[in-house]
Structure 1
């Protein structure tokens, strides 16, 4: 995963832009800060800090137009942990020292003392990093606690916090486990009253031996528990020292254990079954695909989820719920018979592979399973007319993604929002393309490939942060036999549908690398961005092709940036994580284009080690007059910066947008306002 940026954003309060630039030059030279914003007064200071994400404040108290008293008052009112450093002329020192301390400023620095400023900023930067690290650890701790609680809910485990043998907090599952209707009843009951007498000694030893000073020490015991109604059950107890509301205590997790029919042996339910089932499903998918990721046996993959089972477990208990799931599994296997390969891949989910089935057959099978695959009658907790399972499916043809991506796609269709009344995932109807037009365009593509009628054009990607590298986005054009020029939008769709896109991508890659070699030999500091289609990056030989071209023209990988479209990245994360890793091994850089279309773009930054994100052109349209777009752009640029990923805004069409982009801390811009795509590699004035 990429490392978040380690450089803070500095807010400089001064009325003179040149003074802000001078201070930043001093700090950049000392490698203390790279990004800054400047404001002339304390007006809306709180809003600026909240919206711009500032980490340090530098106030130029010697500026005649800056009202220091107003700044200090506004800062004190904020009650923020963002440090303020006040710069002052020597003659102001005595006057401002007391005021600055009372307002909470971290330091007072003389105007003509750059060394003091560097030391002060260095100290605050160290504190800033420590606060960020502590905040990240706290967030991770809370996430771990939430995940643990969710896990215990799913597995039927009960959680309690105990001090001196008395309950101080329990969850609802713990109360139900011991036969109580509310947690208050359990809180009034000593722990030993819930344990069979034969295990009292072991529990007393546990309570005496627990040491809050060693939080990592955990104890595992198998005990017999007794419910309020005097019935007993076997449980596995995990005990570990903890804290509750600042007080040391013991955290207990009780996991029920099922007994064998004769009561002779205690056996745990087969928990690895889901992992083993997933492995088997992956192996079955792999058997349909060759080494080139070509599908040798077309198939449909179904994900079948028992939607009601969590309600059943909540109302009828874990053990009964698991029994009902096993019966459902047998029913499902009987229904499918020899028609396909079925595997249980999670507690409530099944994967199904069916060979040689078309869209109509897949729809019919999904409808049949919805109608007939039912939980046993005693599990009815909702309207019986509603199917017990949800089904998502799609057909796998031609070239395939990694098996994990195929399973993930079926799962997403299953749990998504697009369902028919029968619960089967709906598939968007394909757009109808005129067959004659498709054939004509396909013939033009083939002619251009055979007769060198393809051409590259370039659009500059210009740095807002002073990067001296010359970055260009590569675009493809095609001349047909009548010398008519076609843009990519006129033929790329047909190339994908007609299976010609890989040939176009390979031609583009080789030609672009050849151009890099020529321009580098001529002394130009050139780097090119090239887009890869889904079919091309699924081909495992693509990276080998790139390597061969780099060797052929003696070009370094870091002069080449491979772009992937966000809409196809989402469904191919498993495949792409390996591809990105391989591209980085040959030093190529990786970018995602049309970034920000998904609801959770941070997921992509966490999953893939990216170098650039290119934001959607739509964000740049009318940007100067659209506050919602400005806020969204600021969020995306800040998110990229946190992961140490450079941001590029594409589709820039007017000069007013540049001011917004620079203020938001965007790294690069691209668009027709700056320069339209051209056959020459020169930035035009």
Structure 2
């Protein structure tokens, strides 16, 4: 499983250690995990630029390295690292100067909230640029494969720009009896059309220039030797070498061409209603999404569900429902404009794609459809039936690259119309507010606490050094009313903000203790790693409560390892120190996780009584990089020198195991070994020799 949070790799050019720590804490408090390096010299920057970084924040000035020099070095090394320059005061000239030097933005020092917002914007832009570069590489590979497919295709294919050939494949040359593609280069395609059909071809091509989508034309083709043949031409828009053009696929007409065309038509149709079927409609949606993104042409999707479908089946039977749906399909054809693309999308669902319209523009027309169907009496084999519709509406615009997202939005809108006979338009602002709202999440969390319905999962932590204990990390999961997992980051953040962090931690501890006691009673020498939130770090009643709970369960205290994160430890260092001392007196073990991302991680560690240290997951992600391997080995070596047991999480492949073994790691954890499970059933003896 991928790491849920994205670790920001941050460079800071700031002479003051305290100010650098403060800048890091800004990102931490904003919910961002960070890997930080403070630059100390020009050579240090050169060394740092051998790795990948996401952002550089420069103080107004630095004795060790001039900010302008740092920006120049980044440009010289051809690194895509956005730079935010802090300036003294609010001097427009200083801000302009920083932008001229190449900073992505500049702002007065001390405007913390604005700094975080600018950083968020620049990181989003960076991700877009990285995604674009990856897409360009993928596009080039796809174009290479397409070129190979064109060359090997049995279909005769040519690309035409302004009526001239710019490419023709081998099958096309053979069809027209030409030896080499150079003979066709610069030749108008109309020269390969019989003179009697040239006028019709010219008119067709002129009209097609402004048209979209697939079109066909039958005419007589002329071979190089002057002989003619009946050709069926299919035209579709394309690009070749980055230029817009027309792709023409030609096949010689044969006696079964009409049958082939009929079969192609049937494959696109729903057999009951005669409308397009789901498969073909999805292709139409993809084409509409491309038009929306490429040329800004909007479209609207109406997701039309028949209300009381199951009841109708019971009343009129399967054959009767088919008659009703056929009648309804005819109503849809008459109601919508001719260019509307209609489909039967599911048993009880029709879809309508309205090109050139926004959802708001289509609202009145769709509302009229609701009234028309509500008032219509369907004749089903001599008896009368009535129904209504629920219509969800969503638009395709230049921002909707994925047609499936639009279908899901319209589907959700239709689902929200509980009583039916209604219309709902997708509202981006409403959905955004719903996603940001903690209301529903909090209700789910409170219900889970009341009903004891959280789920605990266990992921093994496996020793590379022959430890006799069986170790598992306890992971908390919450299911929504539909039985789907809510991302832990979302519900835990909402719960913490609402002050429920302590309650959730205690629920996890109590239920983990119960399960562990049962498991150990079966002869297992098992330890559980239980995560504590920042709320529990500050909870002075936790230790006495925990002492009572352990005695009641008759569990050895060292069978529990309480872990908390480095960012929380840095923020609440005094409380974390007191808690680790108290846990040591109870003989419980302590683990510090997400380690290695603070500006000076070992400064935090020296204040805490910690047994295990789990390095941040970003170290595992970067192990393909030799510099990252070396950084991890150095970090682990320092931890082992302090007699800390080390854990590396997110081990997702066998290839990193040798590296981790050589680095002397004590424990590893990840999906390559075993993902989270509802049971503590990992065979720890499997790896023993």
TM-score bracket, shorter-length normalisation: 0.3 to 0.5
Q: TM-score, normalised by structure 2?
A: 0.38
Q: TM-score, normalised by structure 1?
A: 0.38
